[in-house]
């Protein structure tokens, strides 16, 4: 029995749900900041903070994924006997 995991693929529905969820969250946040009864500089600060949070989240997700893929790679050539 082989214990080499295959590359897992996401379904189109899961991908679509993730994209739609991200779009709804960003739109709701943008509308909330726009309709906030505060000075323009406060709304601008919040908008920049949200953009920074989004970009750092993407970076963190990539770093975690890269670390997991690196740990999952075998330390020996694939055709070498153990």
Q: What are the pLDDT tens digits along the chain (82 aa)?
A: 455 566 678 899 999 999 999 999 999 999 999 999 999 999 999 999 999 999 999 999 999 989 888 887 666 666 766 6
- The 3-state DSSP composition of the chain as helix, strand, coil percent (nearest 5) reads 70, 0, 30
Instruction: List the structure tokens of 72.
Output: 């999952």
């Amino acid at each position: 029995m082989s214990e080499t995991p295959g590359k897992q693929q996401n379904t189109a529905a899961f991908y679509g749900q993730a994209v739609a969820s991200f779009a709804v969250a960003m739109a709701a946040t943008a509308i909330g900041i726009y309709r906030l009864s505060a000075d323009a500089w406060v709304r601008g600060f919040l908008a920049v903070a949200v953009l920074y949070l989004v970009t750092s989240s993407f970076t963190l997700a990539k770093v975690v994924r890269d670390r997991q893929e690196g740990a999952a790679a075998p330390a020996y050539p694939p055709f070498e006997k153990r």
